[in-house]
Chain A
Amino acid sequence: MHDIPQLLISTVLLGGIYALIAVGLTLIFGIMRVVNFAHGEFLMLGMYLAFWAFTLIAMDPYLVLLPAIPLFFLAGLATYALVMRGVIHASHNVQIFTTVGLSLALQNVALVLWTGDFRFIRPWYYSTVVRLGDTAFNVSQIAAFAVAMAFTAALFAFMRWSYTGRVMRATAQDREAASLMGIDADRVYAFTWAIGIVCVGIAGVLLAPLYPVYPTAGLQFVLLAYVVVVLGGLGDMVGALLGSLIVAAVEVVGSYVFGTAWKEVLYFLLFIAILLIRPAGLFGQRGAESLGV
C-alpha cells in the first residue's frame, strides 16, 4: 500500500497535462460546435517545434514556450481562415471530414519534411529526479504539470472574467442574439480556434522532453483527449479538468494493476461505457448527444 502516494501524485501530474490538451478541444467544441479531429496534429507540431529549437539552436523547451504562443496563435488564425471559416455553418459530417482532411495533410507534411523517425530531446535535466518521501518524479514532468496548470488557470480566468471571454460564451449560447448585439461571430470563432490551437500546441512543447517525437505522435494523446472531453461533457471546461484526472487515474492505476500494455483498453472501454450510459458526460446535461450538438 506504500505505492499509493506515488500513484496519486502521478495521476495528478499526468492529469494536468491531459487537461491542457483537452481544454483546447472542449473550448473549440463549446463555442464553435466543431469537434477538431486535427487537434492531435497541432500537438505534434508543438513537439517538433520544441525538438528543432532544441536541436538547431539549443533552445530549452521551456524557453520555446514564449515564441510558441504567438506562433500557434497565428497558425490557428491561418487554419481558421483557410479551412474552418467555410464550414462553420455546414453539417456535422462536412465539419468532421474537413478536420480529418486537415489532420491527414498536417501529419504527412511532417512525414515528408522530417521523416517518420522517432526523435528525442535530452536536455541536461533529462534524468533529474525529485524525491519527496517515498515518491520520485522526473523534473520535466513536474515542470510540464506546473506550466500546463498555470496556462489552464489563465484560460479559465480569461473565459470567466474578461470581456472577450464573455463575448465568446455569449456567442456559444446564442449565435443570432450575439450577432444582433453587434458581436462579430466570425471573429469570435477565429479567436476561439486560435486559442484552442495555442493550448494544444503548448501542450506539445511541454510533452516533447517526455515522449518521442514523430509525425503521428499526436494521435495517442488526442484519442485520450476525446475520452477526457466526452467524460467531462463536450464543451464543458471544468468537466474537462475533472475528466483529465479520471483518465489519468485510470491510466496510472491501470498500468499499475494490469501492466502498461493493457491500460489503453481500459480507457477506451471506459469511453464506450460512458458514451452508452451518460453520453453527455458525467457532469453534462442529458440529451445533448442525441440532439447532435
Chain B
Amino acid sequence: MRRHGAALVIFGAAALAPLVVRNAFLLDSLILILLWGTLSAAWNVAGGYAGQVSLGHAAFFGIGAYSAALLGTRWDLSPWIALVVGALLSTAASLVIGYLSNRLRGPYFVLATIAFSQVLLIVASRWRGFTQGSEGIPVPFRPGFWTLGFADKTTWVYLALGVALLLYLIQRYLEGSRIGYQLAAVREDEDAAQALGVASRRLKVVAIAGSAALTSVCGTFWAQYVGFVDPFYVFSLDLSVRFALAAIIGGIGTAVGPFFGSVLITTLETYLRATFGGIGAGLVGIYLIIYGCLLIIVVRVIPQGLAGFVGGLSRRP
C-alpha cells in the first residue's frame, strides 16, 4: 500500500471532503483540482511515459469540449454520446500527431504540435456557421445523469474523482506492464529500443492516441461542468502548457505527479484569484508568473518533479 500512499492521501481527501465541506467555492476548487490533474495525467501518458512532449494537447481538449457543445445544442444529443464522439474524433486527429512523432524529434515535434492546435483554433473561431465562431458557444444545462446536468457540486466531485482514479490506475498500469517498460525504453533511446525488438513507431502512435482520447473525454466533462466553450480558451497554447506544467512540476512520468502538481498549482491559482480577483483583474497574472518561474526552476533543479523530490515516490520498488 505504501507505493500508493500519496495517491491515497489525495484521492481519500477528495472523497471525504464533500461529507464535511458544504462551501460551493471550495467544492468547485476541488473539482478543478481533480479535473486539471486528470488532464495532466492524460498528457503524461504521451509526454511523460512515452516521451512524446506535445504542446498541442489543447486540440484534443477543444475537440471534446466542442463535441459536448455542438452535439448538445445542434442535435440535442447526450453528453455521453458527445464524449464518445469526441474521443473518436480526437483519436483520429491524434494520428496526425502520431505520424509526426515518427518523422520529427525534439523541438521540431513540439512546433508541429503547436501548429496543429493553432489550425483547430482558427477553424473553430472562424467557422461561424457551425461553431458560432469567436463568440463561443454555450453548453445547454439539462438536469439528469444522462444529460450530465448536476446542480449539486458533490455529484461533480465524485464524477471527477472517478475519472481521476481511472487515469491514476492507467498510469500505474503503464509503470508495471510490458507496454510500460517498452514505452520507457522508447523514451530513453528509440534506436536501442528498436534493436531490442520494441515496435516503437506503433507504440508511440498508440500512446499519443490514448492520451488524446483521454484528454478529449476530460474536455467533454469540463465543457459540461463549466457550461461554455470559448475557442480562444479551449484551443489555446496556454492550456497545452498548463497540462504539461502540472505534470512536470509534480513529477513527469510518475502516476501521482500530475495530481500532486495540480493540487499545488490549482490551489495557488484559486487562492490568488479569490484574493486579488476583486482588487485588480491584472493581478491574477501573478500565479502565471509564479508558474513560469517554477517551471524554469523545477526542470533544472529537480527534473524528477516535486513528487519525486519530496518522498522518492516516483520510483516503483
Contact between chains at B289 and A112 (CB < 8 Å): yes
How many whole Å from A46's CB to the nearest CB in chain B? 19
A86 touches B300 (CB 8 A): yes
Distance in angstroms between the alpha carbons of A262 and B119 in the assembled complex? 10
Task: Check if B103 sits within 8 Å of A279, measured CB to CB.
Answer: yes
Is A123's beta carbon under 8 Å from chain B?
Answer: no
* A57-76 interface bits toward B, Cβ cutoff 8 Å, 1 = contact, 0 = none: 00000000000000000000
Answer whether A96 and B105 are a contact pair too, CB < 8 Å, given A103-B292, A264-B122, A265-B123. no
Q: Across the interface, name the chain B residue whose C-beta is closest to A106.
A: B292
**Shortest distance from the beta carbon of B117 to any chain A beta carbon, whole Å:** 10
A116 at interface, CB cutoff 8 A: yes
Please, which residues of chain B bring their CB within 8 A of the CB of A226? 111, 114-115
Choose among A90, A113, A226 the residue with the greatest number of B CB atoms under 10 Å from its CB. Answer: A226
Contact pick for A105, options B126, B292, B300, CB 8 Å: B292
Beyond A104-B292, A230-B111, whether A275 also contacts B103 by CB under 8 A is yes
Residues of A256-270 at the interface with B, using a CB-CB cut-off of 8 Å, are 261-262, 264-265, 268-269
Q: How large, as a class, is the contact surface on chain A?
A: 35 or more
Residues of B within 8 A of A223 (CB): 114-115, 118
Q: What would be 25 A-B contacts, judged by CB atoms less than 8 Å apart? A: A90-B299, A90-B300, A92-B105, A93-B53, A98-B299, A104-B292, A105-B288, A105-B291, A108-B286, A108-B292, A112-B285, A112-B286, A114-B282, A223-B115, A234-B107, A261-B126, A262-B122, A264-B118, A264-B122, A268-B122, A269-B119, A271-B112, A272-B112, A290-B103, A290-B105
Known: A104-B288, A107-B292, A291-B105. 14 other contacts (CB 8 A): A96-B106, A97-B299, A98-B299, A98-B300, A100-B244, A101-B292, A104-B295, A112-B289, A113-B282, A215-B285, A223-B118, A265-B122, A268-B118, A272-B100
Where the two chains meet, the residues of A that have a C-beta atom closer than 8 Å to any C-beta of B are: 29, 35, 83, 86-87, 90, 92-94, 96-98, 100-109, 111-116, 215, 219, 223, 226-227, 230, 234, 261-262, 264-265, 268-269, 271-272, 275-276, 279, 289-293
List residues of chain B with CB under 8 Å of any chain A CB: 51, 53, 55, 96, 99-100, 103-108, 110-112, 114-116, 118-119, 122-123, 126, 237-238, 241, 244, 248, 281-283, 285-286, 288-289, 291-296, 299-300, 303
